[in-house]
Structure 1
Amino acid sequence: MTVLVTGGAGYIGSHMVLALIDAGERVVVLDDLSNGFRWAVHPNAELIVGDASDQALVGRVIQARGVDAIAHFAAKIVVPDSVADPLGYYLANTVKTRALFAAAVAGGVKHLIFSSTAAVYGTPERNPVTEDARPHPESPYGNSKLMSELMLADAARAHGLGYVVLRYFNVAGADPEGRSGQSTPNATHLIKVGCEAALGLRPGVSVFGTDFPTPDGTGVRDYIQVSDLVAAHLDALRHLRRGGGNLTLNCGYGRGYSVLEVIETVKRVSGVDFPVTLAPRRPGDPAAIVAGADRIRAEIGWRPAFDDLTAIVGQALAWERRLAERRAT
């Protein structure tokens, strides 16, 4: 049995590959390297450079490598960019995902784990938000992911495909062993931006919105450590292989931190008081969103190991230093 990981050279995908290899799985990565890096792929995984929407290519990979499961990470993920380029996001996240689903069905793949997002909820009526809440995306990014969720559910009913949809909240940190981390240039993840500012790689950090209805006026998010997130994927895969039913699950800790709280944590951990600029809200950003995280524990037995914001920031800082060393050599 082989697991096909689309986008496996990127941030979350590369951590998934590490976890699968650590678990003794056979892994094939399919990545076009537009946002990923060849060096980020574990040497024991096979890398195929190509597009996950290339149905002929995916079909050949499924048959030749005996793929029984797909973990689909390849996507565009920046909310404000999706507002500016909605058609690009619908192409990358919906049209291309439909092609991958078609190839999976045609190839007889049994299990599929789909990377979705808390953006499908928009601004929830209450926090923590549970999986039973009515989806109400406020950006093309959220819409594009919700459309793919609906397609997957319909395909599963028609063709018997087993799936788990994982709705990510804010992913952060790096592999605790320092093997991978967020490496994309000009990334917008707050903790990465703060760490780059602390190391002098950015002039500072911008806070987008200080008038939200939150305790300090800045947005509140649930930050989940990336290795905990991929552990949920492995738990989901085990669930499906045991014959478990189709699920849609939140991936978060059930606790939120404001933008200013995160920035202060980065300053404290790094020991650097970098500049902070206040800016208007960005389109598509909800005031607060925190995961209702009970169902994932109950359904697939997920137990987080790295639920500590200070430790997450420390991992991110250590990874940024490794990246700086890599660039210098």
Structure 2
Amino acid sequence: MGIVEQAIAQTRNLRSRVRRETPGFSHPNLEFFRGSILDRNAVKKAVSGVNKVFHNAAQNPLAKDVELFWSVNKGGTQIIADEAAAAGVEKLIYTSSSAVYGAPKSNPVTEDTKPNPGEDYGRAKLAGEIICKRAVKRHGLDVAIVRPRTILGHGRLGTAHILFDWIERGLDIPVLAGGNNRYQFVHSDDLAWACIAASNLKGFATYNIGAAEFGTMRELLQVVIDHAGTASRIKSIPMGPTVLVANVASALGLSP
């Protein structure tokens, strides 16, 4: 987006509390506090005296732990919303997910598209959104909901690291039915900028965040292959049989 520099400039004057520890890292504008979002006392301590809370903690889909999806993504969000409201926090920015849309019936998806999650992760993230909206009505908490597309960036590759590994090794890359579906990602730096921008706007709002420019899956993978300079080739595989095998493998816990 060409706006990362603006995000860096804005964050220089921010004093943030991060609920995690990064070994060997320190910064004069950061205070590290370690705790679980399921620990109400820890959350109360973390948000005390804070103007803005960026709620980025979540149990992600790779864990495949349905119980944790709900306890962390719903229960943890309830605790954060409660304690943020009680502490008089100026703004809560909740990082949700585009998974709340499930498989939309039409494209493009907008903030007006009705959520219809198709699995537990998406349903739990939507439950977190509902909790935030209730906090707005009941406690007057100012909330921004951010729904990012698939996030890529330093330290945030998800399942994409498997494709990168295959390309590095020169293996062929399968795509479904030609790979001509358009797919939108978002870079972690741009998402961080968007969250900061949302924190500076007053009033409840929901934002979909994704790359301004994007193409088909085949085009995206070809760019990576060309950049790596390996012998990998993109090969199309049939949709029907592949989806059937993939669903069975996922149910058996055999797929990533």
TM-score range relative to shorter protein: 0.7 to 0.9
Shift of 1:255: 5.2
After superposition, residues 176-215 of structure 1 pair within 5 angstroms as 181-182=154-155, 187-188=158-159, 190=160, 192-200=161-169, 204=171, 207=174, 210-211=176-177
After superposition, residues 212-223 of structure 1 pair within 5 angstroms as 216-217=178-179, 220-223=182-185
Q: Are 1:220 and 1:257, in contact at CA under 8 Å, matched by a contact in 2? A: yes
Normalised TM-score (structure 2): 0.80
Please tell me the residue identity of whatever aligns with 1:259.
M
Residue 30 (structure 1) aligned with residue 19 (structure 2): yes
Q: Are 1:204 and 1:276, in contact at CA under 8 Å, matched by a contact in 2? A: no
Shift of 1:274: 3.6
**Structure-2 change in CA distance of 1:210 and 1:42 (3 Å):** farther
Shift of 1:183: 5.5
The equivalent of 1:53 in structure 2 is 38
The equivalent of 2:190 in structure 1 is 228
**Structure-2 change in CA distance of 1:135 and 1:183 (3 Å):** closer
**Structure-2 change in CA distance of 1:210 and 1:134 (3 Å):** same
CA-to-aligned-CA distance 1:78-133 (integer Å, 9 cap, x gap): 2x654xx3222112211122122122122221210010111111111221111111
**C-alpha distance in structure 1 between counterparts of 2:172 and 2:148, whole Å:** 23
**C-alpha distance in structure 2 between counterparts of 1:221 and 1:157, whole Å:** 35
The equivalent of 1:249 in structure 2 is 207
**Structure-2 change in CA distance of 1:182 and 1:219 (3 Å):** farther
Q: Which structure has the larger Rg?
A: 2
After superposition, residues 35-184 of structure 1 pair within 5 angstroms as 37-39=22-24, 42=27, 44-63=29-48, 66-78=49-61, 81-82=63-64, 85-173=65-153, 181-182=154-155
Q: Are 2:35 and 2:43, in contact at CA under 8 Å, matched by a contact in 1? A: no
**Structure-2 change in CA distance of 1:108 and 1:129 (3 Å):** same
**Structure-2 change in CA distance of 1:154 and 1:140 (3 Å):** same
**C-alpha distance in structure 2 between counterparts of 1:206 and 1:40, whole Å:** 37
Shift of 1:280: 2.8
**Structure-2 change in CA distance of 1:167 and 1:67 (3 Å):** same
Q: Are 1:89 and 1:141, in contact at CA under 8 Å, matched by a contact in 2? A: yes
CA-to-aligned-CA distance 1:33-82 (integer Å, 9 cap, x gap): 6xxx545675641211211221111212333xx2011001111222x654
Q: Are 1:120 and 1:136, in contact at CA under 8 Å, matched by a contact in 2? A: yes
**C-alpha distance in structure 1 between counterparts of 2:8 and 2:38, whole Å:** 24
Aligned residues: 236
**C-alpha distance in structure 1 between counterparts of 2:180 and 2:117, whole Å:** 20
Normalised TM-score (structure 1): 0.63
Provide structure 1 residue ranges, at least 5 long, that are not aligned to the other structure. Answer: 1-14, 174-180, 284-329
Q: Are 1:72 and 1:113, in contact at CA under 8 Å, matched by a contact in 2? A: yes
What is the Cα-based RMSD across aligned positions, in Å? 2.9
Please tell me the residue identity of whatever aligns with 1:232.
A
Shift of 1:252: 1.2
Shift of 1:196: 3.3
**C-alpha distance in structure 2 between counterparts of 1:91 and 1:206, whole Å:** 36
CA-to-aligned-CA distance 1:114-162 (integer Å, 9 cap, x gap): 1011111111122111111111111111101111101100111100100
**C-alpha distance in structure 1 between counterparts of 2:122 and 2:113, whole Å:** 15
**Structure-2 change in CA distance of 1:76 and 1:40 (3 Å):** farther
Residues 48-57 or 251-260, more deviating: 251-260
> Secondary structure, in 3 states, of the residue corresponding to 1:261?
helix
**Percent of counterpart pairs with the same letter?**
26
Please tell me the residue identity of whatever aligns with 2:68.
G
Q: Are 1:169 and 1:223, in contact at CA under 8 Å, matched by a contact in 2? A: yes
Residue 261 (structure 1) aligned with residue 219 (structure 2): yes
